[in-house]
Structure 1
């Protein structure tokens, strides 16, 4: 799929909560660095064939990730198993603090040493880094290593194919999902999770018990609205970007804001949910439904909640859709040593069929062979998450989107809290976004 990146500004892409989704925020291990040998060969010349070629030159591969929470341990297992499976290449895993990841990556990529050869990048960051000339296409590396586009879910592959070149190999896709308290559902006599607006509205009414402080669905005023609001807008036939301008003050978008405010006005949600308040209530058994990401699994398991997971219902009138993020492997522009490139290809080929440890973190894998494996299908939550892959959507493929769209979240909060009319709030968000674009 050919896609051109639309340049709106030369400003560096601001780090946002959206791009951070799916990575825990605890501080992690900064690890050591690696100086590349500075060879003149290109990625096209690297080929490990997915195995340990006897004549291959040994190489160390510096691999950066932002997995500084519990998810980091799962990636460590993959790297350790790969390193133990052969003795030609050694992947050196460096876990950077999630909240500082892209700032640190920018600094490293501008340096002549201690920069990563291979890195994890969120799919919606890739267009900006391609535009800055900091990533190299992976088509030749993939072909030489036996890695095929057809073996990955189409949505991230299409997004990161820019001007006919493939810049990222997806590890996972993490869409918004619906968590629900099975005990509260049983008590309310609800046999199955809702799948559409009518079922959802009926369920939250039955689940709400104001005398006991139990709510059907606590509407977040802040995070994770970065996943919720776009999902609802797309479901209702609207969009965040119309091809030339921001569009989140459309009738379709405003209707969804009014719908969320209506849940508060009807008493199905608390009136003033603070940051993470909906999650606190869910952990306390006082919020029956929560929309959040697959990364919440570990916390809910540890809390011992009797919960279920299902796709987000179709609340909008037009179609099923859900916002998603995706972690991807990218190769930095200056990674030119042929042995290192061969090693990267060998490692990525290994991961394509040996990533169940990553699935154990709660993530749904993007590799089709893994998705179709009996081991993955035996994971009930991850299999449920993967049901949404046919209709996932990512952030608009627009440079500096995090900066442009940032005004949404404060104005959306104003509308949900009843401080502003929904139309006024979204009009104000659009005006601020246009200022960011100098329009």
Structure 2
């Protein structure tokens, strides 16, 4: 009997020791993020500790092919020093802002650092959910002059700075070098005349090859604004939507004209232009820097160049930007110092992000020989004339009607003017 009690006591002590060991770690479930520990809960602004380090939670929407590139930056930072630990969590990109809204309203699970698209910053700042980063940046040895001016200007509201840009991702032109060589075209087009001539020359309908396939859906969110600005138009005139202007309508008619001429097939569905590009049947593709890894993996012989000036007024290109932003409720001084240290590291150690196809926003990286050696370094040529979405609260919601109506125009369901008038009318309802 004593022997049995002794055995039971030994087993109970063993179980207690195992339980104590488990309780010392994080218990959150895996969010599919590939982060340091898979925990999607985190300590929020209360801070945390990991082997004596100050830990903070970093959220991003990089759920595509770009995720591993950011993870590599985080892993290298964590290994580079022993004071801070970044817990990296990737949320599904399609649900990112919904998840963020929930988290920001619940302090317990709030991230300490987030990636935020530049055009979202005014809205979140207006809701009181972001804090100015001027002091945090200054304490880390960062200044506005370290980054591309256009993004800094946009993220500066009422004299305070709310976003540190990671990249600038403007619309770019990809072209199939093999098709260009076959057609005897020696350089990518730079203006409308050259573009139309090249697209016509590259088209071989008998072989099912097109010079430029007009997308009717995404990425028109980048293409349409680019063309409107190039043609002297605006999306917002300072007090109202303006994408039903003659300048904007002309560009919609120009795109539809490429279809009518047979340079592009009709009724292109979502990603149809990209599928044809991957198949070697679409010679020119307007898309974002994020496509690079997909084209590399496909083994395409492609080139990258700035988007030609198609409009009649000026060179311009629509761009986006991923920014680092800090939620309002993050107050722990150690966590804030850790965030500043991490952002300082990224400003001069983000070449991994450039490998994903992005053009970096930190000038030390843009000016480095390593970045200049990358094919997408030509993207930076457009930074002097890049434009972002109108700095208007709730712009994504206001502008949403554009894309359905533009689709109607490009599919030939509505005349261009009617489609853009209908889009403007729906947007005005959203404003009201």
| TM-score between both structures, scaled by the size of structure 1 | 0.88
Equivalent position of 1:146 in the other structure: 141
Corresponding residue for residue 401 of structure 1: 395
Match of 1:103 among 94, 98, 105: 98
Q: Would the aligned equivalents of 1:137 and 1:167 in 2 still touch at CA under 8 Å?
A: yes
Aligned to 1:373: 368
Within 5 Å, which residues of 2 pair with 1:320-399? 320-380=315-375, 382-399=376-393
CA distance in 1, matches of 2:394, 2:141: 34
Q: Secondary structure at the match of 1:113?
A: helix
Alignment of 1:114-263 (within 5 A): 114-263=109-258
- The alpha-carbon distance between structure 1 residues 37 and 110, as it changes in their structure 2 partners (threshold 3 A), is closer
Structure 2 residue ranges without an equivalent (≥5): 1-30
Cα distance in structure 1, aligned partners of 2:397 and 2:58: 27
CA contact (8 A) 1:204 1:215 kept: yes
- In 1, the alpha carbon distance for the partners of 2:378 and 2:61 equals 25
Once the two structures are superposed, residues 227-284 of structure 1 have per-residue CA deviations (whole angstroms, 9 ceiling, x without a partner) of 0000000000000000000000000000000000100011100011111000111111
Task: Indicate if the aligned counterparts of 2:154 and 2:391 stay in contact, CA closer than 8 A.
Answer: yes
Q: TM-score, normalised by structure 2?
A: 0.90
> As a proportion of its length, which structure holds more helix?
2
Which has the larger Rg?
2
The 3-state SS of whatever aligns with 1:320 is coil
CA displacement at 1:37 relative to structure 2:
6.1
SS of 2:412's equivalent in the other structure is coil
CA contact (8 A) 1:178 1:289 kept: yes
Q: Which has the higher contact order (CA 8 A, sep 6+)?
A: 1
Q: Are the aligned partners of 1:152 and 1:368 in contact in 2 as well (CA < 8 Å)? A: yes
* 2:409 is equivalent to residue 415 of structure 1: yes
Q: How far 1:174 moved relative to its partner?
A: 0.5
The change in CA–CA distance for 1:315 and 1:296 in structure 2 (over 3 A counts) is same
Q: For residues 396 and 108 of structure 2, what CA distance do their matches in structure 1 show?
A: 29
Distance in 2 between the 1:27 and 1:203 partners?
Answer: 44
Cα offsets for 1:61-95 (capped at 9, x unmatched): 11111111221111111111111111111111111
Number of aligned positions between the proteins = 395
> In structure 2, what is the Cα distance between the partners aligned to 1:215 and 1:370?
37
State the 4+ residue runs in structure 1 displaced beyond 3 angstroms: 26-31, 36-39
SS in 2 for 1:195: coil
